[in-house]
Amino acid sequence: MLRDHLGTVVFLGLLFADLDPLLVAFAAVTAVALVLSPRVMRLLARRVPGRVSEPEIKFLFLVLLGLGGLAQAAGSEAVLPAYLLGLALAGVFVADRVLVNRMRATAFSLLTPFYFLKAGSLVSIPAIVAGAGLIALFLAVKLGAKLVGVWPAARALGLTSRDANCTTLLMSTGLTFGTIASLFGLSHGYIDQATYTILVTVVILSAVVPTLIATTFFEPTVATAEALEDFDAAEEIDAGPLAPPQPAR
């Protein structure tokens, strides 16, 4: 999913960006930031750990906002450096789960609501009614494509039918970058409000409907604590292939 989302952003940024000195400068600054940011984050984690002022988070938001503003000025997508920076800092986040939780709490409570409020305010109710047929058709195509691509692969990897169904339904969502791509097209004049409304409605339904079906009919059962402990212990000592823990009865 991450590679799919990153590919969408890179494609949009390259397809519609104008090659000029500012864009070249943005690419160069982003490359430098991707190299230096992990080192600076590790340095802050060693020198000022556990500070109430959270210098790591402040530094990370400073880099994100700086790169995002430069991307907008260069005619690219502000979310592109955010994704690239997330990939570059993956090792730092794995080593510091507390930092991940604090970043997630800040993003979802402060930043994400404003984006979705903006995206939702541009939706036209009359366009939803007029385009109900297209919405149903696009939703069926989107879910069908995910079914064809995910379900056979899940079964081939050894998942049960129930787990494969749940995995396929949860993989059908594309809320974040579906709305980003639609908003990008609307703000740059490539689509009108009616088309934007249809696309965003399909994206939202593709996130809500499969999730409701998955959690209602195909939610996996939780394994017993003993089974999980045995499974983790075997992995730690590299005991070789071990069957996944069995669900609780």
**DSSP per-residue codes, 60-118:** HHHHHHHHHHHHHHTTS-THHHHHHHHHHTHHHHHH-HHHHHHHHHHIIIIIHHHHHHH
How far apart CA 109 and CA 102 sit, in angstroms, is 11
The reported pTM is: 0.66
If you ran DSSP here, which 8-state letter would residue 188 be given?
A: T
Query: Could you give the CA distance from residue 122 to residue 186 in angstroms, rounded to a whole number?
Result: 9
Distance from C-alpha of 236 to C-alpha of 240, rounded to nearest angstrom = 10
Helices 2-16 & 79-88 angle (0-180, nearest 10): 140
Q: What is the pLDDT of residue 17?
A: 63
Q: In angstroms, rounded to a whole number, what is the distance separating the alpha carbons of residues 135 and 138?
A: 5
Between CA 221 and CA 243 the distance in angstroms is 16
Nearest to 76 by CA among 20, 36, 3: 20
List the pLDDT tens digit at each of the 249 positions of the chain. 444 555 666 666 666 666 778 888 888 999 999 999 999 988 887 887 767 678 888 898 899 999 988 888 887 777 778 878 888 888 888 887 788 888 888 877 877 777 778 888 888 899 999 999 999 999 999 889 888 988 999 899 888 888 888 888 888 777 777 787 888 788 878 889 999 999 999 988 988 888 888 888 887 766 555 555 655 555 555 544 445 555 555
Residue 247: name the closest of 219, 213, 217 by CA: 219
What per-residue confidence (pLDDT) applies to 15? 64
pLDDT at 239: 47
Give 223's DSSP letter. B
pLDDT in tens, 105-118: 887 787 777 777 88
* Amino acid in the structure at residue 247: P
What is the structure's pLDDT at 136? 94
